A and B are shown apart, each in its own frame.
Chain A
Amino acid sequence: MSHSTPQAIGAVRAPLPNPALVREPLIRAEGVNKHFGVAHVLRDVTTRFFQSEVAVIIGASGSGKSTFLRTLNRLEAHDSGRIVVDGIELNDAVTNLDAIRREVGMVFQQFNLFPHLTVLDNVTLAPRRVRGVRREEADAAAMELLTRVGLEDHAHKHPFALSGGQQQRVAIARSLAMSPRVLLFDEPTSALDPEMIGEVLDVMKDLARSGMTMIVVTHEMSFAREVGDRIVFFDHGRILQEAPPDQFFEGQQNERIRAFLGQIVH
């Protein structure tokens, strides 16, 4: 999983990619700032994300990590700086936005499945509407994805009939149905009962092994350590440190991060 493991470590410095595998970053953020009223929630955030990389964003609540993730598919608009996804700059031009959202999937903390549609229709809606795929083809592709997340037997149920973990797996399949180039995860296990976290993390690990580019905001340190190629630590709207997991978790020198890890890792 560590074919694009970054070499450099340090505050606000983007890691160097392995030049043999990747040249252009898939997503580039440069000096991104964002305010909510008087609150300055993102401060000069600069980083890059590469093809097939699993980046794990951690940090205290309110540190700006979810907001940053949401700027990457423009669920939040940034105030200044540049965000370039797959060569397309995120700005107010709507055609850009639709093109980008087709390539950037998102999995939410609250699943956000469509309650009035069956599991199968949840997965096929976007391919049918956005890509114009015929229903039979979309259904067949969706069944494949549902099998991949272990829910093929639940295809004709409505979301309310599923457990939280099952709903989140459907949400992952729904995102995958658009064949995105990168998947954003916004605290995908934070709303789950403890016994259901494992099944969702297993699906995510499986995805990572298949080479999917993933940016994951999470509090699951074991996942970060095991699957992440790079840890991005947010603090008060800034990236305080970026490092490979072994360096980040083992030889951590930064007092602030040590204190954060001390509260979370047991």
Chain B
Amino acid sequence: MTSLVLAAWPDSWSREQRCSATMIAAGVVLVLFMWLLATPLAAMPEPVGPAAQQFAEGSRVTVELTLVSGLLGVLFGVLAAVGKLARFAPLRWAASFYIWAIRGTPLLVQMLFVFLALPMIAPGLALSDFNSAALALAFNVGAYNAEAIRAGILAVPKGQTEASRSLGLSPFQTFRDVVFPQSFKIALPPLVNNIVALLKDSSLAYVIGVVELSNVGNRVQAATFQPVPVFVATASIYLILTTVLTQISGAIEARLDVEQRQH
């Protein structure tokens, strides 16, 4: 799928141009899709047509949930990966504990914990259902991202750090300008896997009352008693969203692939 869109551009375009065009096109498709989704859905027969606005609104919530928790999750992943590789032992312990606890417990429990238990522990942390879901998803995907990013950092040869340090760059500059860009490229495919999984996992927000796509689907089928068309429509929207996501990430991957290993 990835190469299909990339290859659709004129032959005379450079790799960078094709990748940028793919990213822009996929972004535009995503925005148009979110904006105009209600129109084609409204044209569909019962029971989907009359619920078009609900489906469109649910999809918007799903995408928002994925974007917010996806961005936060990458940030958490970078912090935890750096923490796990830190020289300062307590940082390593904290990062390892986070990754261990999150990966060893169900996302459903984490989501319920943030929404129901966290306000009991700290009353100031009573979050809305959407914010609770976003936070739980971000913590969850962050732990998986951490492992991908850590592997990426370790895959950058030691000579890169030595060259950078011997030029006088500080440890932070070395990480930001030399190691991280290279490790991010290595970590990108597993990160994309995690984000696609996140988009699907966001359906669990249903249990704490977030009206996202799956919740809408279930409500509509409960009202119409027609689960087959309702869930086919629901699944189709998820499929379109994950496809757009992989197109964008494929383009980013190709953009970073300056050595053109994929051609």
B258 within 8 A of A: yes
Return A179 CB to nearest CB of chain B, in Å: 11
Instruction: Evaluate contact between A129 and B178: CB separation under 8 angstroms.
Output: no
Instruction: Check: A108 CB closer than 8 A to any chain B CB.
Output: yes
Q: Which of B112-120, B159-167, B208-216 is near enough to bind chain A? A: B159-167
Chain B residues within 8 Å of A101, by CB: 165-168
Decide if A130 touches B167 in the complex (CB within 8 Å): yes
Rounded to whole Å, the gap between the CB of B152 and the closest CB of chain A is 13
Question: How many chain A residues have a CB neighbour from B under 8 Å?
Answer: 25
Distance between A155 CB and nearest chain B CB, rounded to angstroms: 15
Residue in A closest to B258 when the chains form the complex, CB atoms = A158
Residues in A with CB closer than 8 Å to B160 are: 112, 114
A108 close to B159 (CB less than 8 A): yes
Contact with A108, one of B163, B170, B182, B185 (Cβ below 8 angstroms): B163
Chain A positions 54 through 83: 1 when the CB is less than 8 Å from some CB of chain B, otherwise 0: 000000000000000000010100000000
Residues of chain B contacted by A73 (CB below 8 angstroms) = 166
Residue contact B178 to A114, C-beta cutoff 8 Å: yes
Q: Is A230 an interface residue (CB 8 A)?
A: no
Tell me whether A102 and B168 are in contact (CB under 8 A): yes
State the CA gap A174–B164 with chains docked (Å).
10
A27 CB, nearest partner CB in chain B, Å: 15
**In the complex, what distance in Å separates the CA atom of A101 from the CA atom of B166?**
5
Q: Whole-angstrom distance between the alpha carbons of A106 and B164 in the complex?
A: 10
Say if the beta carbon of A46 comes within 8 Å of chain B. Answer: no
Contact B182 A116 (CB under 8 A): yes
**Contact residues, A92-112 vs B (CB, 8 A):** 98, 101-102, 104-106, 108, 110, 112
For residue A260, CB closer than 8 A to chain B, the reply is: no
A189 within 8 A of B: no
Query: What residues of A have a CB within 8 angstroms of the CB of B72 in the complex?
Result: none
- Determine the chain A residues whose CB is within 8 A of the CB of B256 once the complex forms: 116
Q: In the complex, how many angstroms separate the beta carbon of A223 from the nearest chain B beta carbon?
A: 22
Residues in A137-177 with C-beta less than 8 Å from chain B: 158, 160, 171, 174-175
Which residues of chain B are near A112, meaning CB under 8 Å?
157, 159-160, 162-163
Q: Are B168 and A130 in contact (CB under 8 A)?
A: yes
Q: Is the CB of B259 within 8 A of A105?
A: no
Q: How far is the CA of A160 from the CA of B166 in the complex (A)?
A: 22
Q: Shortest CB–CB separation between residue A15 and chain B, in angstroms?
A: 26
Residues of B near any A CB (own CB < 8 A): 157, 159-160, 162-170, 173, 177-178, 181-182, 185, 256, 258-259
Q: List 26 A-B contacts (CB under 8 A).
A: A75-B162, A98-B170, A101-B165, A101-B167, A101-B168, A108-B159, A108-B162, A110-B159, A112-B162, A113-B163, A114-B178, A114-B182, A115-B182, A115-B258, A116-B181, A116-B182, A116-B185, A116-B256, A116-B258, A125-B178, A130-B167, A130-B168, A130-B169, A158-B259, A160-B258, A178-B167
- Name 16 extra pairs, CB < 8 A, besides A102-B168, A114-B164, A160-B259: A73-B166, A75-B165, A101-B168, A104-B166, A106-B163, A108-B159, A112-B159, A114-B160, A115-B259, A116-B258, A125-B167, A126-B167, A126-B168, A129-B173, A158-B258, A174-B167
Contacts from A to B (Cβ < 8 Å)? 73, 75, 98, 101-102, 104-106, 108, 110, 112-116, 125-126, 129-130, 158, 160, 171, 174-175, 178
Those 10 A-B pairs whose CB atoms lie nearest each other, nearest first:
A112-B163, A126-B167, A102-B168, A112-B159, A106-B166, A130-B168, A101-B168, A160-B259, A158-B258, A116-B181
